[in-house]
Amino acid sequence: MTPLREAVVLPALFLTVALLGGFRVAATIQFVPPSLTALILGVLLLGTLTRGGILVPQFLMHGGRSPFENVSGGIVLFTLFAASGQAVNLVLPDRGLLHAAFAVFFFCQLMTMNAAGADRSGLLRSLLVLLGSLFVLRYIVVEALYAPDGGVLHRLLTTLMSGATLGGVAYQPNSPVTGYVAFVALALYVVGLVMLPKEGLMSLVVQSGRPGDGGPPARPQLDGAPSSGDVRGIQASPTNCTSTPPRAGGTLTRSSGASSS
């Protein structure tokens, strides 16, 4: 991951999601902070991202990085947590029975993803389907049911339910602008998850062999260690050295080959 992406792009994306996630347009324009339920589900979502390999905290903060790099990685993690809480807050109704029902559904889906043990790409697809489904349920189905002007879906369901009322389930409808803002925020959140560093980007051993040449990659060697060719040469032509015991008052002599008589 490039320094520009870590220090500028990812924090800017996640901060934008955190700001847009609380944007509500009804009778007035409001900024809604994430609820306690959304924050708890955001923490569980971060755990799911870590388990699936989408988020690898060791690539953002570890002892081998400088203090400034660790601060940059910590900012990415903090903004990711804020964006996760607001992304969950976007797809949950603000209060009431619908808020509890959507929260329970989101929690069950997260537990299912953790139990499935999907890889990075599989978890990204599952998360995209989950956020998209909740977005459609809240900003299309529920908004149509509780629209003040009574949309087609509201009239159809009222006819099918034969006079049943939805008055027991309270919901405050929003302006259509809120749905567009929520769509942009969720799209930016998914883009930010895709841009997080992957597990295979940091290689501990640099391979000198080119991919596709058919041969295995070259093994790293220590400085001063003999190559495989040198070892074979040493084994193929051993030196036949014999040593004679030292004479009295002399030094050790070495002769190559047969000793002379």
Domain map (residue ranges) of the chain: 3-195
DSSP structural state of residue 8: I
Cα separation of 48 and 223, whole Å?
43
**Helix/strand/coil for 24:** strand
User: Cα 190–194–200 angle (5° rounding)?
Assistant: 160
**248 token code pair:** 């009295």
- Other Cβ atoms less than 10 A from the Cβ of 104: the count is 11
Q: Which helix (H) or strand (E) holds 214?
A: none
> Tell me, what amino acid is at 254?
R
Distance of CA 22 to the CA centre of its chain: 23
**137 token code pair:** 């349920």
| Residue-level pLDDT, tens digit, the chain, 261 residues | 788 999 999 999 999 999 998 888 777 788 888 899 999 999 999 999 999 989 999 889 988 889 999 999 999 999 999 999 999 999 998 888 888 999 999 999 999 998 888 889 999 999 999 999 999 998 888 887 777 665 565 566 555 544 444 445 667 777 888 889 999 999 999 999 999 988 644 433 334 444 444 444 444 444 444 554 444 444 444 444 444 555 544 444 444 444 443
Q: Which helix (H) or strand (E) holds 72?
A: helix 67-91
Within 13 Å, how many C-alpha atoms sit on residue 227's CB side?
A: 3
pTM of the model: 0.69
Q: Which residues pair with 243 in a beta bridge?
A: 254
